[in-house]
Chain A
Amino acid sequence: MLGLNKKDFRLLMIVLGLTMLAPFILNPFPSSSGLAQFNAGYPDLMQRFVIFGIFAIGFNILFGLTGYLSFGHAAFLGVGSYGAMWMMKLFSLNVIPAIIMGVIVAGIFAVAVGYVSLRRSGIYFSILTLAFAQMSYALAYSVLTPITGGETGLQIKSTDSPLLSNLAEGEIGRANLFGMDMRASYEMAVGDWLFTFNAGYYIAAVFMLISFYLAIRIFRSPFGTMLRAVKSNQTRMYYTGLNARPYTLAAFVISGMYAGLAGGLLVAMDTQVGPERMFWTASGEVVLMTILGGAGTLIGPVLGAGAIKYMENILSKINKDILHQWFAFLPDGLEDFIITLVYPFIGKGWHLTLGLIFMAVVIFLPGGLVEGGQRIKRLFSRKKKPGDDEADKASQSTPAE
């Protein structure tokens, strides 16, 4: 189906189902219950899930396949955002041209950065990309203020009057898709549950599905195999008559364009951009997402992006009062003790949890959440039917360990 084999098609369908039904799936707790704060089914967060999913999918095409660890990918996200922003300010408030502009600008920038950085590999490549990203950040922050808005960044203002949008004098334009406002939402109340279906989310989700589909195609293509060959053995590659450089550059540019798409979508959703989007910690974040989910796997980056954005938005909101509510059933002394133990890891300290989880993943689960899932699955299938060992082994792709 769609040029995919059965397994990949099933994966695509699962992702399709999950993204389309996300407003339900992410809102499992009734709004009056104490667990409602774990609900993630609100538009802003759902948009972030899919947009950063795109970012991580793209990063994975570079890192997961070729093994080149870029520490400056946020620069492409940022450049894409600025490009999209200017398109909206000057040309049209329709998000499509803005997003296309974001992808193109990021792609061009990636060609330039990649052409230079890919002349080195290993740690040197990481440092070069980091240097380029930090330079972009510094320039966006200071010298390029006329284009980037400096520290405050860019927003749509009442003075902006895009070419194709007929705005009344002083009206602040809103991002739309052929007239459909990105912020438009349909709310559905079912008993104690409130489900929100947001236009922006679904548009971003469609882009994510397309990105995911293309990523599967790339993974399964001869080109994808060549990229894995680059990671595996560049010497053999060169002595097999293949030039690794254009392959890595193509992967770099594709992943840069994915980042640009994510950047464009971010602007389409909240119509603003600032230089902090390009800071190196933002580049680090996409690395975390990809590794956490499972570098080199198809679904891993999406899971990783979801996990991190969920933690960032949900874990960080838990405060001491909420903890007291949860542990109120315990005797006072014990309650305080447990809260003291837990408190550093939540709320403002969620980065600590993130860092620890990330370290644990790199140390124990280099394949990320996907590998974890596979291990659990294997554990269970073995427990259930001990006689099926042979079949289990045969289904693994690396039998010789």
Chain B
Amino acid sequence: MEAIILQILNGLDKGSAYALIALGLTLIFGTLGVVNFAHGALFMIGAFCAVTLSRLISLSHEVAVEGKVDFLGNPATESVPYIYDWFGRATGDAIIDWAVPLSILFAIPVMMLIGVIMERGLIKHFYNRPHADQILVTFGLAIVLQEIIKYYYGANPIPTPAPDAFRGSFDFGAAMGFDPNTIIYPYWRLVYFAFAAVIIGAVFAFLQFTTFGMVVRAGMADRETVGLLGINIDRRFTIMFGLAAAVAGLAGVMYTPINSPNYHMGMDFLVLSFVVVVVGGMGSLPGAVLAGFLLGILESFASMGAVLEVLPGLNQIIIYLVAIIILLTRPRGLMGRKGVMED
């Protein structure tokens, strides 16, 4: 029992990331009809937003330390972040400590802007081109984006820790009446799951309860008719692209403490997220979320020692295996709509 709960929990954080990326992919596919292979790159850029912000707020200058000299007899200096000068030491430390959550505020406008530029500058020219062309051009863009990041940030992963308050783990076992130390779960992963749930909820609420969202949903179902009503669907779709970019970016920001960001993390997640989208059903938002969590948890179960003893390597292939089976038995995916990409 404990083992099962632990595996479900373990699957949640990866599942959250899959779900968030797949959600954005589906939004873009559903609204614009574009298959975006650069979506993983947006996730990665989000993660590097966190890196950038934590570097920015740690910018320092050299200050002489009174009464101390170094071994050459010159006055000793130490580097002091500017932020100490502005807010004092204690607040400054707290801000630096909370760099990752703070990056959310930084990432939202940045990612929206990148998304809108991408859509207006590139994607919109590909609405009427074949899906293969869309895949190819966004694939090229993904390479370009990750190479730019690699040029400025290097090829090595950059550790970006969570705030002190969230380090350590929560003992689920003790809390739920099982033996202590059987179900240990890092706090930050809980935060990540909660965060993902909030974002997903917000996106659905936005689409469900606002006029804007209603128009977008109508546009997803039948673009032509909505266009005929005289509603400028294109501008709304541009904004949706920005929103999808922001969702991917935020997923990336919050993922940094779980996995130190590197320039190819986007591609790693993209391949799996595409599989998730296809399993969930191309164009279905609930399908994307459901499949994201489902596959995350499945992957985690497949990594259990007991499973690997019987079927070694299952954890490596389980997602692909499930995708193949689902695509062959339910071509439209778990919750796919009729008529979406049937040929």
A residues lining the B interface (CB < 8 Å): 67, 69, 116, 119-124, 126-128, 130-132, 134-135, 138-139, 141-144, 234, 280-281, 284, 287, 291, 344, 348-349, 351-352, 354-356, 358-359, 362-363, 366
Cβ of B237 within 8 Å of any chain A Cβ, yes or no, is: no
**Which among B125, B140, B312, B327 has the greatest number of chain A C-beta atoms within 10 A?**
B140
A362 touches B133 (CB 8 A): yes
Tell me, rounded to whole Å, the shortest Cβ–Cβ distance linking B267 to chain A. Answer: 8
A134 touches B320 (CB 8 A): yes
Cβ of B278 within 8 Å of any chain A Cβ, yes or no, is: yes
A141 to B133, CA, bound (A): 32
Q: Known interface pairs A131-B324, A349-B147. Does A122 touch B341 (Cβ–Cβ under 8 Å)?
A: yes
Residue of B nearest to A71 (CB): B135
B132 touches A131 (CB 8 A): no
B residues lining the A interface (CB < 8 Å): 35, 122, 125, 130-133, 135-137, 139-144, 147-148, 150-151, 267, 271, 274-275, 278, 282, 312-313, 316-317, 320-321, 323-324, 327-328, 331, 341, 343
The 8 Å CB contact of B136, one of A116, A234, A362, is A362
Tell me, rounded to whole Å, the shortest Cβ–Cβ distance linking B298 to chain A. Answer: 14
Q: A139-B316, A352-B151, A358-B139 are in contact. List 20 more A-B contacts (CB 8 A).
A: A120-B328, A123-B131, A124-B278, A128-B323, A128-B324, A138-B316, A138-B317, A139-B313, A141-B316, A142-B313, A234-B343, A287-B139, A291-B136, A349-B147, A355-B143, A358-B136, A358-B143, A359-B122, A359-B140, A359-B141
A344 to B321, CA, bound (A): 39
A126 to B324, CA, bound (A): 12
B327 touches A352 (CB 8 A): no
Residue of A nearest to B141 (CB): A359
User: What are 12 A-B interface contacts by the 8 Å CB criterion?
Assistant: A116-B328, A128-B324, A128-B327, A135-B320, A138-B316, A234-B343, A344-B148, A349-B150, A355-B140, A356-B140, A363-B125, A363-B137
Residues of chain B with a CB closer than 8 A to A351's CB? 143, 147
Tell me, rounded to whole Å, the shortest Cβ–Cβ distance linking B62 to chain A. Answer: 26
Residues of chain A with a CB closer than 8 A to B135's CB? 69, 123, 126
A362 touches B140 (CB 8 A): yes
A144 to B316, CA, bound (A): 12
B148 touches A352 (CB 8 A): yes
Q: Known interface pairs A127-B278, A128-B324. Does A349 touch B151 (Cβ–Cβ under 8 Å)?
A: yes
A284 to B135, CA, bound (A): 11
A123 touches B136 (CB 8 A): no
Tell me, rounded to whole Å, the shortest Cβ–Cβ distance linking B68 to chain A. Answer: 38
Residues of chain B with a CB closer than 8 A to A362's CB? 133, 136-137, 140
A291 to B133, CA, bound (A): 10
A132 touches B328 (CB 8 A): no
**Which among A131, A141, A142, A234 has the greatest number of chain B C-beta atoms within 10 A?**
A131
- Counting from the closest, the 5 A-B pairs by CB-CB distance are A143-B313, A355-B143, A138-B316, A352-B147, A359-B140
B132 touches A67 (CB 8 A): yes
A120 to B317, CA, bound (A): 20
Tell me, rounded to whole Å, the shortest Cβ–Cβ distance linking B318 to chain A. Answer: 10
B324 touches A143 (CB 8 A): no
A400 to B324, CA, bound (A): 43
A132 touches B140 (CB 8 A): no
A28 to B85, CA, bound (A): 62
Residue of A nearest to B322 (CB): A131
B313 touches A124 (CB 8 A): no
Residues of chain B with a CB closer than 8 A to A120's CB? 327-328, 331
Main secondary structure of the interface of A (DSSP, over half): helix
Tell me, rounded to whole Å, the shortest Cβ–Cβ distance linking A22 to chain B. Answer: 28
Tell me, rounded to whole Å, the shortest Cβ–Cβ distance linking B113 to chain A. Answer: 20
Residue of B nearest to A126 (CB): B135
Residues of chain A with a CB closer than 8 A to B137's CB? 359, 362-363
A132 to B132, CA, bound (A): 19
Tell me, rounded to whole Å, the shortest Cβ–Cβ distance linking B40 to chain A. Answer: 12
A1 to B148, CA, bound (A): 50
The 8 Å CB contact of B323, one of A119, A131, A348, is A131
B313 touches A287 (CB 8 A): no
B143 touches A69 (CB 8 A): no
The 8 Å CB contact of B144, one of A126, A356, A363, is A356
A348 to B263, CA, bound (A): 14
Residues of chain B with a CB closer than 8 A to A291's CB? 136
Tell me, rounded to whole Å, the shortest Cβ–Cβ distance linking B299 to chain A. Answer: 12
Residues of chain A with a CB closer than 8 A to B320's CB? 131-132, 134-135, 138
A173 to B260, CA, bound (A): 44
A135 touches B328 (CB 8 A): no
Tell me, rounded to whole Å, the shortest Cβ–Cβ distance linking B301 to chain A. Answer: 17
A130 touches B274 (CB 8 A): yes
A123 to B271, CA, bound (A): 13
Residues of chain B with a CB closer than 8 A to A284's CB? 139
B275 touches A127 (CB 8 A): yes
B341 touches A123 (CB 8 A): yes
A356 to B136, CA, bound (A): 12
A281 to B267, CA, bound (A): 9
Tell me, rounded to whole Å, the shortest Cβ–Cβ distance linking A304 to chain B. Answer: 13
Residue of A nearest to B137 (CB): A362
The 8 Å CB contact of A69, one of B132, B274, B278, B343, is B132
Residues of chain B with a CB closer than 8 A to A142's CB? 312-313, 316
Tell me, rounded to whole Å, the shortest Cβ–Cβ distance linking B235 to chain A. Answer: 23
A291 to B129, CA, bound (A): 15
A346 to B12, CA, bound (A): 41
A139 to B131, CA, bound (A): 30
A139 to B320, CA, bound (A): 12
The 8 Å CB contact of A119, one of B150, B151, B267, B328, is B328
Residues of chain B with a CB closer than 8 A to A352's CB? 143-144, 147-148, 151
A30 to B316, CA, bound (A): 50
A89 to B320, CA, bound (A): 32
Q: Known interface pairs A127-B274, A362-B137, A366-B133. Does A139 touch B143 (Cβ–Cβ under 8 Å)?
A: no
Residues of chain B with a CB closer than 8 A to A127's CB? 274-275, 278, 323, 327
A116 to B331, CA, bound (A): 12
Tell me, rounded to whole Å, the shortest Cβ–Cβ distance linking A48 to chain B. Answer: 20
B278 touches A355 (CB 8 A): no
Residues of chain A with a CB closer than 8 A to B316's CB? 135, 138-139, 141-143
